């Protein structure tokens, strides 16, 4: 099996992963009945099959569209479409475009790095130490194990566990600050306003 | 997802250390075992590569985020945003053009796509839907409204000595302190009561007035026939969602849904006749005709084509 190219890995790290949290909260709010993990996982599967990424001008939008297609396929397969689900589809474009030209978006790349720093800082002592040496000082796992007097497998385990934690924290849903003004309306729902 | 992620992290860490031949084979096996593995692996590797870049940040000034903010182009707000936030402003700007103050009468006209919230001088509120015209004439003893076309929802301030009367084509509705919606159809008028009780009678007065309670509706046709019915809470909410700039379709036939959308737009939707009986569901913004077209097309297995100011939903040959 061909290993995903380093170029794609770098592209995903830089342009896709930072938007996963938003995608998740978007999916959650737009499609309450859908399995968000499933859709996100499938989106990465599809991205993993990309031969090249040079034609993708707006990776954030690409990610949202990919997710949208996955949701649509699921809905058509299930043949049950709730009102909420169909609404989510209509608003998906808006969600993907939501931050177009937003300064926040330009800054998000650097903000993400700042966030990574924070996350590394939050790791347990040994994980943090290993991660810093590997990622900030650029030492190899072998060098780290020699310097710290740990076995290579312990170092590898620290990397693996810490990575797991960091990815989880990084992609956790942001519940606040959805880019959708429509969300405010959805909260109230017409139903609750009729009689007021 | 969690177990796969953990495995993917382990493989990413091994790859980061450097794989031996056996591990390469094992990784291959793992990747092939489940199609989700490749995506998860990509994700964890991507995160690890992102972490590489943390190095670039190391030792730099503490807050590099703010300095880039001013570089961003200042985009104009979207049309939708303008529509939703600017309704009040737009209304204020067009006051001169669309309102005429008569001694005691006031005319209100909304353009296609315009929905206006109009406070009346007695404390009542009128929400006027797209493409509607009404005349409001208040006197010391009466509050008279004429709905010449379109639709409006009224929240009536209580005043027993000044009945609030809406004349709309073949029907007249009167209330003292309630909320109700009046809509002119081509050859009938529909009244939905959302609060309290409303007295309704045909203009031709061949019948006695009937009392319509909240949660009910009545349709008066041009022959003065009066049909009343129950409208459960959610149906009434859906029917009146336009007040929030929304259209709610709950298993509505595509043909009817398209007509509903066309009320709010100069651009018009047309559908392949063979699709018109397909049911659609959804909750849309009244100004999002394109979003509706795209979604509706997806739901019925069609596609969208544009032809001048007409948006077609056509049947796709291959489903």
Same-domain status, B146 and B109? yes
| DSSP reduced 3-state for A78 | helix
Cα gap A42→B36, rounded to integer Å:
7
Strand bridging mode B151-155 / B133-138: unpaired
Same-domain status, B232 and B263? no
ipTM metric: 0.74
Q: Is the residue at A57 inside a domain?
A: yes
Same-domain status, A94 and A111? no
Cβ contact B299–A113 (<8 Å): no
B49 lies in which domain range?
2-56
Cβ contact A167–B5 (<8 Å): yes
pLDDT tens digit at each of 319 positions of chain B: 578 999 999 999 998 888 888 898 999 999 989 989 999 999 999 888 877 665 554 443 333 333 333 333 333 333 333 344 334 444 433 433 334 344 457 889 998 888 888 888 888 999 999 999 999 998 888 899 999 999 999 999 998 889 999 999 999 999 978 899 999 998 899 999 999 999 999 887 667 788 999 889 999 998 888 898 888 777 787 888 888 788 887 778 899 999 988 998 888 999 999 888 888 877 778 888 888 888 888 888 889 999 888 999 998 875 4
* Nearest-by-CA chain B residue for A134: B52
A102 touches chain B (CB under 8 A): yes
A148 lies in which domain range?
103-176
Same-domain status, B215 and B116? yes
Same-domain status, A55 and A149? no
CB atoms within 10 A of CB A145: 21
A78 touches chain B (CB under 8 A): no
Cα gap A117→A122, rounded to integer Å:
9
Residues written for chain A: 196
Same-domain status, B185 and B155? yes
Same-domain status, A76 and A130? no
Same-domain status, B272 and B217? no
């Amino acid at each position: 099996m061909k290993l995903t190219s380093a170029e794609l890995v770098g592209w995903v790290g830089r342009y896709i992963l930072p938007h996963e949290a938003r995608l998740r909260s978007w999916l959650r709010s737009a499609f309450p009945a859908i399995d968000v993990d499933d859709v996100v996982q499938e989106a990465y599967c599809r991205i993993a099959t990309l031969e090249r990424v040079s034609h993708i001008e707006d990776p954030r939008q690409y990610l949202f569209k990919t997710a949208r297609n996955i949701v649509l396929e699921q809905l058509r397969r299930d043949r049950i479409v709730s009102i909420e689900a169909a609404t989510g589809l209509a608003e998906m474009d808006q969600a993907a475009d939501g931050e177009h030209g937003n300064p926040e978006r330009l800054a998000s790349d650097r903000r993400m790095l700042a966030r990574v720093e924070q996350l590394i800082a939050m790791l347990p002592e040994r994980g943090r130490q290993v991660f810093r040496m590997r990622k900030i000082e650029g030492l190899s796992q072998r060098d780290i194990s020699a310097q710290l007097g740990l076995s290579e497998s312990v170092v590898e385990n620290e990397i693996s566990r810490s990575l797991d934690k960091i990815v989880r924290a990084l992609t956790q849903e942001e519940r606040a600050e959805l880019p959708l003004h429509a969300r405010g309306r959805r909260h109230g729902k017409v139903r609750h306003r009729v009689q007021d | 997802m969690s177990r796969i992620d953990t495995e993917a992290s382990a493989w990413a860490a091994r790859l980061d250390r450097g794989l031996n031949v056996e591990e390469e084979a094992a990784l291959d096996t793992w990747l092939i075992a489940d199609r989700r593995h490749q995506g998860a692996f990509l994700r964890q590797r991507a995160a690890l590569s992102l972490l590489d870049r943390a190095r670039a940040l190391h030792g730099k000034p503490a807050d590099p985020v703010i300095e880039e903010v001013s570089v961003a182009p200042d985009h104009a707000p979207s049309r939708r945003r303008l529509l939703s936030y600017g309704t009040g402003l737009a209304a204020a700007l067009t006051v001169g053009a669309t309102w005429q103050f008569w001694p005691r009468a006031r005319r209100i006209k909304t353009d296609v796509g315009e929905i206006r919230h109009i406070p009346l001088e007695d404390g009542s509120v009128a929400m006027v839907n797209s493409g509607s015209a009404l005349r409001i004439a208040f006197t010391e003893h009466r509050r008279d409204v004429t709905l010449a076309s379109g639709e409006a929802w009224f929240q009536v301030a209580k005043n027993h000595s000044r009945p609030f009367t809406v004349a709309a084509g073949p029907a007249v509705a009167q209330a003292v302190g309630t909320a109700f919606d009046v809509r002119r159809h081509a050859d009938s008028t529909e009244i939905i009561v959302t609060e309290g009780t409303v007295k309704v009678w045909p203009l031709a007065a061949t019948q006695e007035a009937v009392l319509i309670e909240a949660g009910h509706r009545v349709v008066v046709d041009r022959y003065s026939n009066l049909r009343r019915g129950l409208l459960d809470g959610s149906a009434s909410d859906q029917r009146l969602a336009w007040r929030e700039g929304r259209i709610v379709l709950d298993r509505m036939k595509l043909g009817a849904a398209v007509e509903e959308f066309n009320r709010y737009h100069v651009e018009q939707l047309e559908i392949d006749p063979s699709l018109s009986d397909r049911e659609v569901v959804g909750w849309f913004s009244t100004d999002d005709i394109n979003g509706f077209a795209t979604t509706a097309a997806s739901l019925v297995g069609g596609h969208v084509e544009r032809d001048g100011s007409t948006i077609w939903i056509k049947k796709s040959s291959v489903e």
